[in-house]
Structure 1
Amino acid sequence: MQAMKRCSIGFCLLTSFLVATMQQAGSGMAAELVRVDRIWDQAHHNAFTDLARFKGHWFCVFREGTRHVSDDGALRVLRSEDGLKWESVALITSDDSDLRDAKLSVTPDGKLMLSGAGALHDPSEGSHQSYNWFSDDGVTWSDAVDAGKRSDWLWRTSWSNEGTAYSVAYHTGDPSDRRVRLYKSDDGKRFDVLVDDLGIDGYPNESSILFLGDDTAYCMLRRDAGSKTGMWGVAKPPYTDWAWNDMGVRIGGPHMIRLPDGRFVAAVRLYDQKVRTSLCWVDPKTGELDEFLALPSGGDTSYAGLVFHDDKLWVSYYSQHESLDEEVETDFTTAIYLAQVKLD
């Protein structure tokens, strides 16, 4: 493949990857990578994305800072009408913490909710604090609202069919306490512990939850110790009793959605062979992943947002692959990309 071209204005069509088709092994399902755009590269390190459709616009959020871990992390909000031309509409900063890992969801009362965590500059009373911000238009945001206990990182908020918010939080304080808790909230502001310990070993952390029409909840969970393989959880209301299955593969930055035809699709960082951000089908019974499309990515990469819209899967993610290409001159370490994928 040819090297991707550097764009002087920060919005770059990656022409080398306009049409790339990969076949899902054993299923006959094809995926066409229609286009990939680099939509932001203004900071030195741009990373940890999420994507949402809200009131007829696209919104993409991510962290920008000096490095992957640095004290100056801020949350950038981009808006677009068509997914091609993007404008910055908000920058959320903090005087006392490195803001990280922004996530988006729409509340039952029609507000856009941005979730993230601050790595506190003064960790004497806890290493992290999770926050939520709220907006009517995605441009003007409320003050931060504390979510959960200090040193509990509420990773991603998912809303049930009844309009209740759930989030798996992993503990970032005492290294001997690596539990994950399940939080719930009626309004996205006050979060209470529903399950104090989900009983998973191996340093569980990042997660994604989705709910089916019959209220069954599915959870994909990352682990970073022991075998480092992901875990797949299933539970029925009231979500206090979970059955867990080892997925048998190491994953990072997990996120998943359910397509209109019922299939589960996930975006994860895969570590076998070349490190990459990939799209995978998920077997809801076992959590087994079937990779069907590796996105243009490499090095420091992952943390995707997923939206199915206009018969295409839209994927935001970040990657280092262009800055690793000796033939491409860049001013950034990692950049934000948006892929459009046509599924058979």
Structure 2
Amino acid sequence: MKKTILVTGGLGYIGSHTVVELQESNYDVVVIDNLSNSISEVAEKITSITQIPVKLYIGDITDESSLKTLFEQETIGGVIHFAAHKAVGESVQKPFKYYRNNIDGMITLQKVMHQHHVKTIVFSSSCTVYGDTKHSPIAETHPVTEAISPYGTTKLVCEQILKELCRYSGFKGIILRYFNPVGAHPSTCIGELPLGVPDNLVPYITQTAAGIREKLTVFGNDYNTADGTNIRDYIHVVDLARAHVKALDYALSMNQDCEIFNLGTGTGHSVLEVIQAFEQTSGISLPYVIGARRTGDVEQIWADATKAVQILNWTPQYNLHDMMDSAWKWQVALSQNNQKRASKPA
């Protein structure tokens, strides 16, 4: 019998790609999203890929009564939890917004899950919990450290909450610490769709290439790296989404427990390397300037994802040029769709 999986934040960037992979893996999916960083039309785009309607609840996970209504109406077999604010820079400027949404939302969700005897959850965490580490590639056994941003703090706190619920309340939890998701679905129906000015590198690159932004700012070129710019482990969003399905499969088969997995390619790329890969893939020369370092940015970090490969039987399939190619094709499709809408008579 197919299980019904609740995906919180399921219309967001990673959430929408994961909904596609879940549906294509024969799960029934229910989505809750408050549309704070997404649009309702994404549900139609998912359906256009899978030919399966998305059951959507517009609501906020900090609203306990709305969550209770959802759990009373649906027979939920497990949860994949994405719904959270995620911009490191914004979290430094608006810490209480992040504490309220990310931590309170996690508590409320797990309280309602407990009340309805739903104990399986895959939690979207982040490599930010490792702090400004000097030890890459970094494995799950590396100690977490004091976070360098309120966003990182919320991930640390939520991880601890889940660990304790697994220890004392019978939850079965998977914590996925992933690195830097980029790219888009090969259909170009869904991809990264930041509302307003992008906080992440790749959508800023593609918007600059499309003429939406005047130029790209590289935040710092005086780091202790080969070219002076930050190094990150970039992972294609489809690879990441498939890992969530693998993690869910594994969680449903577990006894009471909590497991942690890194999700990355195991290769670090600097900001300038990403720019160069995009230019090579697209044939477009990007205008960029060097700016000051950005508060909360880690110098360099990339993953040791051996555990996910061995236990989840998951291996990333896409390289950096694949990621840049899909991101650019998504941006081109997005611009073409926007032009079509603008040309339609009012």
Tell me the TM-score normalized by structure 1.
Answer: 0.30
Tell me the TM-score normalized by structure 2.
Answer: 0.30
Structure in which a larger fraction of residues adopt strand:
1
Structure in which a larger fraction of residues adopt helix:
2
